[in-house]
Amino acid sequence: MGTHLKMAACILFPLIAGLWLMLQKTLHDARKLKYYVCLVLLINIILTGCLMLLPDTSWIVWKLTDKLNIVLRLDSLSRIFLILVSVIWLVVSYYAHEYMEHEDDPARFFAFYLMTLSGLTGLCLAGNFMTLYLFFEAMSLLSVPLVLHTMSKKAIAAALKYLIYSIAGASLALIGFFIMLYYGSIEFAAGGTLSPEVIAAHQNILLAGAMFTIVGFGTKAGIFPMHSWLPAAHPVAPAPASAVLSGVITKAGILAVIRVVYYQFGVTLIKGSWVQYVWIALSLISVLMGSTLAYKEQVLKKRLAYSSVSQLGYILFGLATLTPAGFIGAVMHVVCHSVIKNGLFLGAGAVIHQTHKTKVSELAGIGKRMPVTMVCFTICALALVGIPPTGGFVSKWNLISGSLESGLGFISWLGPVVLLVSAILTAGYLLGISVKAFIIGKDQEEVTAEPEGTMMKDTQILLAFMAVVLGICAGPLISYLNTIAGGLF
């Protein structure tokens, strides 16, 4: 199989498999559905693995005009996101089969689950701004049914809000696309594509385009003030959907921001400009606001949604420092947060599934009834706080280092202070759940729950284990990211 065919297969295979699942009613039997989805995702892992072995390449799939092309690109950055998406999609699907047993029409859920994977894969392999934008939109549209799966009034309203925010964000990014199309190039190149002459002649309009694009794609990553779709969507979506929305789909916005900043507009244009300062301000507001609202929130999944706003703010802040350490910390936190937040959402989903309780105040003693879930939840919580030797500690250490190296005056110190305050709040709103789960107050009534299923337990154990391994064995990933950063700065 040729290189180009392998790239096409990675994108098209999940899409065709999802469409086939919708059409073949015989696959809607629970047992057949489980085998079918697992087989599809295992084949997807194999296809992705084969793609990883190939050298960097670029493929012009369709040449519309001299400036407008559909291009697929395999490089070091796309490899990281491809592996992350493929692995998490398989792991969460294993949990989802048990969780979705009592939900209506699980086949419909898994059909869109597979098709969303196709959109994400195309986004990872996008070779220019136009291809990135098309797959970004496709992924957004295909993921809407995951939010509205239950078809309740709240779910429909949340899905509509998610769609509106997605369209609004994409519209802002489209402004940046047209500016780059007119003044520069829509192709991706490490370090950016703008020449010093073009920057000098059109700096103001290019900076405006960069800001529109960062906020536009940042909407998917919950950047302030475009964040409110997260706390609306997560409480109503099934737990597996919440997990991939927070852990993976939000990272589509991060990937898009990385591509347009580091591979299009370039560090030279943005560093020291008003765009960098506004970007940092919005990121730090997201960090502090998300943590504060999570600390005050009593609905469990909504608390985790606000937490995602905060943690995605960490990533955007690291990217906004425009330093190698900040970039490395940001991408490292993409990987760590994806694993950790999937573990937290799946743990919350298991608790809600077994107890039908949605508020933190109702979960006294749940650790005695569901010890595996709550131990794994606690490990992931410690990782999100940034306690060594977890992956969260390594990524946040690099984020703080990036801020201190940025040379941005008082912001160099303000950033780490905000991150540390947020970490304290994170400990409060997550570890407080763990304490309540195992220590019951005299005036509290112990919650009753049936033990969680084996598939739910296995998935959470794996994710908690991965959260620790990412810290203990961070060296190879950090080294790999250093190589990428070397070509960007």
CA 403 to chain centre: 22
Which residue in 383, 388, 307, 287 sits closest to 339, CA to CA?
Answer: 383
State mean pLDDT over 458-475.
95
**472 pLDDT more than 90:** yes
Specify the residue for token string 């002649």: 201
Beta carbons within 10 angstroms of residue 42's beta carbon:
11
**Strand pairing of 69-74 and 57-63?**
antiparallel
User: So what's the pLDDT on residue 288?
Assistant: 96
Question: Helix or strand or coil: residue 69?
Answer: strand
Average pLDDT in the 133-141 region? 95
Contact criterion met (CB below 8 Å) for 355 and 439 = no
Q: What is the pLDDT of residues 306-365, one digit of tens each?
A: 999 999 999 999 999 999 999 999 999 999 999 999 999 999 999 988 888 889 888 888
Q: Where residue 27 falls among pLDDT bands split at 50, 70, 90?
A: confident
Which run of H or E residues covers position 474?
A: none
What's the average model confidence in pLDDT over 126-133? Answer: 95
Averaged over 10-39, what is the pLDDT?
89
For residue range 72-125, what is the model confidence (pLDDT) as tens digits? 999 999 999 999 999 999 999 999 998 888 788 889 999 999 999 999 999 999
Across the strands, what pairs with 63? 69
Nearest to 314 by CA among 301, 300, 302, 331: 331
Nearest to 168 by CA among 215, 98, 114: 215
Q: Alpha-carbon distance 82 to 477, whole Å?
A: 14
What is the token pair recorded at 139? 């992924």
Please count the CA atoms within 13 angstroms of the CA of 46 that sit on its side-chain side: 7
Q: For the chain, count helices (H), then strands (E).
A: 20, 2
**What confidence score (pLDDT) does residue 442 get?**
59
Percent of the chain with pLDDT over 70: 98
Q: What is the pLDDT of residues 273-302, one digit of tens each?
A: 999 999 999 999 999 999 999 999 999 999
Q: What is the mean pLDDT of residues 222-251?
A: 90
- Residue 273 CB coordination number (10 Å): 18
Tell me the whole-structure pTM to 2 decimals: 0.94
User: Stretch 184-189: mean pLDDT, rounded?
Assistant: 90
DSSP states of 239-268: HHHHHHIIIIIHHHHHHHHHHHIIIII-HH
Whether residue 26 has pLDDT greater than 80 = no
Residue 60: phi, psi to the nearest 5?
A: -80, 105
Upstream peptide bond of 389 is cis (omega within 30 degrees of 0) = yes
As a whole number, the mean pLDDT across the chain is 92
Residue 489 has pLDDT above 90, yes or no: no
